[in-house]
Structure 1
Amino acid sequence: MSNDKIKKPTHNVPTHHVYVTKAGADDKTFWSRIGGAWEHKDGKGLFIRLDTLPIDGQIVIRKAKPAEMAGAA
């Protein structure tokens, strides 16, 4: 796929948040937000922008709450 076919998000507010999760003491899981994701117009994929790259842990993408997406349309 060529880069000219990749469309960047049309708004600045992500539809999803990207986190890295790590297991800590006492089976607690720590979540750190590392970026955002925007749903494609056809709803079949995500455009992901990371502010940092994790070196361990798991990457989790969660849908943003409606209040967090206010003005995203």
Structure 2
Amino acid sequence: MTNQASSFRPTRRIYAVTKNGDKKIWRSIGALWPHRDGKGFNHKLDCLPLNDAEIVVRQIDDEAEEGAR
């Protein structure tokens, strides 16, 4: 069974969010692509979160991505 992504660019970014006092620290740990049939997702993780990090998936904002480069 093959689940291919609809494009080569991810549509969502995966973050590990941890707290440091009152401050939240967001670390990008991977990306997510929807399946062509719209019934699922493929994801790739660059690392696994530790220390009770919350996993958050957010839509990629093209303008924010341009500013981060």
Q: TM-score range by the shorter chain?
A: 0.7 to 0.9
TM-score by length of 2: 0.74
- 3-state secondary structure, aligned to 1:37: strand
Q: Tell me if the contact between 2:6 and 2:35 (Cα under 8 Å) persists in the aligned partners.
A: no
The partner residue of 2:60 within 64, 67, 72 is 64
5+ residue gaps, structure 1: none
CA spacing shift, 1:53–1:68, aligned 2, 3 Å: same
The residue type paired with residue 3 of structure 2 is K
Asked if 1:49 corresponds to 2:8, the answer is no
Give CA deviations for 1:1-53 in whole Å, capped at 9, x if unaligned.
xxxx231325331100000000112x110000000000122333221110111
Coordinate RMSD, CA, aligned: 2.2
- 3-state secondary structure, aligned to 2:28: strand
Indicate the percent of aligned positions where both proteins have the same amino acid: 33
The structure carrying a bigger strand percent of its residues is 2
Q: Tell me if the contact between 2:5 and 2:36 (Cα under 8 Å) persists in the aligned partners.
A: no
Q: Tell me if the contact between 2:18 and 2:24 (Cα under 8 Å) persists in the aligned partners.
A: yes
Segments of 4+ moved more than 3 angstroms? 66-69
CA distance in 2 between partners of 1:7 and 1:24 (Å): 38
Equivalent residue, structure 2, for 1:21: 17
Asked if 1:30 corresponds to 2:25, the answer is yes
